[in-house]
Structure 1
Amino acid sequence: MKPDRFDEGRFEFGESVRVTRNVRNDGTYPGMEVGELLVRRGSVGNVLEVGTFLQDQVIFTVHFLSQGRMVGCRLEELIGADEPWNPSRFEFRDKVVCIIDLGIQGNILFTKGTEGEVFKVIRDNELIQYHVAFQGRTLQVPETALAPARPETFNEPEV
């Protein structure tokens, strides 16, 4: 059985919701560059209104108070704020450094402090892991072995 196409009743005015994907400017948010991050995955906001886009897409206008932004979100990008959420500290394209030496089978490949870039978040269980590219080689690394490469500009995600 196909789910209902319009699910406006899923969230109501004032209800707290969590965004499950990064929301970037698609060109409709004024004063910011296309592609710039508007709201980070995991952020919590409140539904202000429900509308449609192109007559068949339900859009929830969500006010993210901590970012000071009102953003349109699709139903599939939202969960209730109280629903289970396994937050990750880092995301795709974040620059990180390893805080321990990393190796395979006892051979150290990258020493503590080596910078890498996150290519995938793996959240299959409670221990978050990442595919991180270090100098052309990709390793699967637990979150506990990484730190932000630029802590002065890094924004910790909401929990």
Structure 2
Amino acid sequence: MRPQFEYGDEVRVMRTVRNDGTFPGTPTGGVLIRRGAVGFVRDVGTFLQDQLIYSIHFLDENILVGCREQELQGADEPWVPSLFEFRDKVTPRIQLAVNGEVIAKPGDEGEVLKAFREAEDNVTYHVRFPGRTLQVPEKILEGLDQVSEGLDQETDEC
């Protein structure tokens, strides 16, 4: 096994890294590093003799996290950012229907299952709404936290 990255290489994490219960001070399942963050390789080791594990120092977050090789790419490789990621709660900006059957309307909660990043202007997601999973373009989704913030602002103005 030869490592793809070496000490000092600048890398980007390709998926959000969550605490598996081994990182102190963060609840299990809590986000450690968001997808797209850039850090530097501090060390390379192995796990169970068949997986390379990199210690990555994310300077902006001031955190050292272990990442598997398949979770990383070179920082200079093409990267398409997206607004949402796995487990994010979203709602459609418009009513969504399949063959005339309404699946979700604005305010209904959906959960992002997967992001597809073909191009910056063509990011889509698999979103699970109650009873159905749909592939939905990013431009017609908004985060539920954004919706509640907007409602809070409207309430403050009244």
Alignment TM class, shorter chain as reference: 0.7 to 0.9
Q: In structure 1, what is the equivalent of residue 127 of structure 2?
A: 132
Q: In structure 2, what is the equivalent of residue 147 of structure 1?
A: 142
From 14, 20, 39, give the equivalent of 2:33: 39
From 92, 112, 124, give the equivalent of 1:98: 92
Q: 1:114-137: per-residue Cα shift (whole Å, max 9, x none)?
A: 3211123233x2212112222323
- For 1:98 and 1:57, the matched residues in 2 are separated by 39
> Structure 1 residue 25: deviation in Å?
1.6
Structure 2 gaps of 5+ residues are: 150-158
Cα pair distance change 1:139/1:61, threshold 3 Å: same
> Structure 1 residue 95: deviation in Å?
0.4
Between the two proteins, what is the percent identity of the paired residues? 54
Q: In structure 2, what is the equivalent of residue 157 of structure 1?
A: none
Question: Greater CA deviation, 97-106 or 45-54?
Answer: 97-106
Q: 1:29-78: per-residue Cα shift (whole Å, max 9, x none)?
A: 11222222211222111111222334443221101122221001121211
CA contact (8 A) 1:97 1:146 kept: yes
* Mapping of residues 19-34 of structure 1, within 5 Å: 19-34=13-28
Q: Which has the higher helix share?
A: 2
Give the TM-score normalised by structure 1.
Answer: 0.78
Structure 1 gaps of 5+ residues are: 1-5, 155-159
**3-state secondary structure, aligned to 1:103:** strand
Q: In structure 1, what is the equivalent of residue 153 of structure 2?
A: none
**3-state secondary structure, aligned to 1:151:** helix
CA contact (8 A) 1:24 1:39 kept: yes
Task: Provide the aligned C-alpha RMSD in A.
Answer: 2.5
> How many residue pairs are counted as aligned between the two chains?
147
CA contact (8 A) 1:100 1:113 kept: no
- For 2:136 and 2:2, the matched residues in 1 are separated by 39
Structure scoring higher RCO (CA < 8 A, sep ≥ 6) equals 1
Q: In structure 2, what is the equivalent of residue 12 of structure 1?
A: 6
